[in-house]
């Protein structure tokens, strides 16, 4: 099922830069019960289940009011922790999960740039559309502002730190490989990089980064792989994804 337009159009910001503002998210979550960025779980469940086992401990970054954690829970993945920067998102998510009886899922207010967890404590870290927020004021996507680079690297450093030695980072995004690889493949990280796509007209990317599996061979292979350039027209993107991408589109054209 495709994601609907926001029920209340008042939650749409006038500019994508609002996505960097915590007050924007608080205000939005106070008014909105559910919104699924990009696609819902049914579109990528088949890929998730190849990588997340029922016994995996999973951290979801920037859960918002998405149903991702509930869907994982229904698939038997019960050791789940969700974080979000917005206290309103966190309170509402806690209440929703209690009401549904999913009491084991932990939800807490936290910043993904400074995770309140010990080193090596999760099998999987997953995010959908959350890292993309850091790119909304990146400037030229081929040469992002130093402030963007710093934030993205901080986020990745934290993810790498909290993953177990053979843990996996899953990133679900519209960020194309030629814009994400420069971050993912930083020598600081020991993970290998793979991706799949899903979606119909517009393809979203499902990155799988496996800690401790870095292989120069696979990197060279990736360098040589032709990545088709995806030309985006506004009506190809569904609903709010368009707004989210506005800055990047401007720079790509
Ligand atoms: C584009 S929404 C994605 C929400 C959800 N993952 C989904 O797929 O529908 C981005 C989410 O990230 C949260 N967020 C933004 N910056 C954050 C940060 N530094 N740490 C944790 N969460 C953050 C926002 O509050 C919002 O819930």
Q: Which of 4, 63, 130, 135 to mutate to test the pocket of ligand 1 (most atoms within 8 A of CB)?
A: 130
Q: So what's the pLDDT on residue 13? A: 87
pLDDT (mean) for 50-66 = 97
Tokens encoding 204 = 């979203």
Nearest CA to ligand 1 atom 4: 64
Q: Tens digits of per-residue pLDDT, 151-181?
A: 999 999 999 999 999 999 999 998 999 999 9
Instruction: For residue 50, give the nearest of 194, 160, 181, 151 by alpha carbon.
Output: 194
Cα 213 to ligand 1 centroid, rounded to whole Å? 28
Least confident of 61-65, 79-83, 213-217: 213-217
pLDDT (mean) for 210-218 = 78
Cβ 112 under 6 angstroms from ligand 1: yes
Which residues is 1 bridged to in the sheet? none
Cβ neighbours of residue 8 closer than 8 Å, sequence gap 6 or more = 31, 32
The overall average pLDDT reported for the chain is: 87
Tokens encoding 85 = 């920067």
Q: So what's the pLDDT on residue 216? A: 60
- In what helix (H) or strand (E) does residue 29 lie, and over which residues does it extend? helix 22-31
Superfamily of segment(s) 9-252 = Vaccinia Virus protein VP39 (3.40.50.150)
pTM as predicted:
0.89
pLDDT (mean) for 96-116 = 97
Confidence of residue 63 (pLDDT cuts 50, 70, 90): very high
Specify the residue for token string 């120069």. Answer: 216
Specify the residue for token string 């393809």. Answer: 203
Between 126 and 15, name the one with better pLDDT: 126
Which residues is 13 bridged to in the sheet? none
pLDDT (mean) for 103-108 = 96
The Cα-based distances of 187 to 52, 182, 216 in angstroms read 25, 10, 11
- CA quadruple 95, 163, 76, 192: dihedral sign: positive
Q: Are 156 and 112 in contact (CB under 8 A)?
A: no
Nearest CA to ligand 1 atom 13: 62
Cβ 84 under 6 angstroms from ligand 1: yes
Sorted by where each begins, the domain ranges of the chain are 9-252
How remote is the C-alpha of 106 from its chain's centroid?
18
């Amino acid at each position: 099922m495709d994601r609907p337009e926001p029920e209340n159009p008042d939650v749409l910001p006038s500019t994508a830069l609002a996505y960097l503002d915590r007050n924007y998210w608080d205000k939005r979550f106070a008014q909105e019960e559910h919104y699924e960025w990009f696609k819902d779980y049914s579109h990528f469940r088949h890929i998730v289940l190849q990588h997340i086992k029922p016994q995996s401990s999973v951290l979801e970054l920037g859960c918002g009011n998405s149903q991702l954690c509930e869907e994982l829970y229904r698939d038997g993945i019960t050791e789940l922790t969700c974080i979000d920067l917005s206290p309103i998102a966190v309170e509402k998510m806690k209440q929703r999960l209690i009401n549904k009886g999913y009491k084991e899922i932990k939800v807490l207010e936290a910043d993904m740039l400074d995770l309140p967890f010990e080193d090596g404590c999760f099998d999987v870290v997953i995010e959908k559309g959350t890292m993309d927020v850091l790119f909304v004021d990146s400037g030229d996507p081929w040469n992002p502002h130093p402030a963007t680079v710093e934030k993205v690297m901080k986020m990745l450093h934290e993810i790498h730190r909290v993953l177990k030695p053979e843990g996996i980072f899953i990133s679900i995004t519209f960020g194309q490989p030629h814009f994400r690889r420069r971050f993912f493949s930083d020598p600081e990280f020991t993970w290998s990089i793979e991706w799949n796509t899903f979606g119909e007209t517009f393809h979203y990317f499902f990155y799988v980064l496996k800690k401790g599996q870095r292989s120069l061979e696979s990197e060279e292979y990736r360098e040589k792989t032709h990545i088709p350039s995806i030309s985006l027209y506004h009506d190809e993107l569904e609903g709010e994804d368009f707004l989210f991408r506005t800055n990047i589109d401007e720079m790509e054209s």
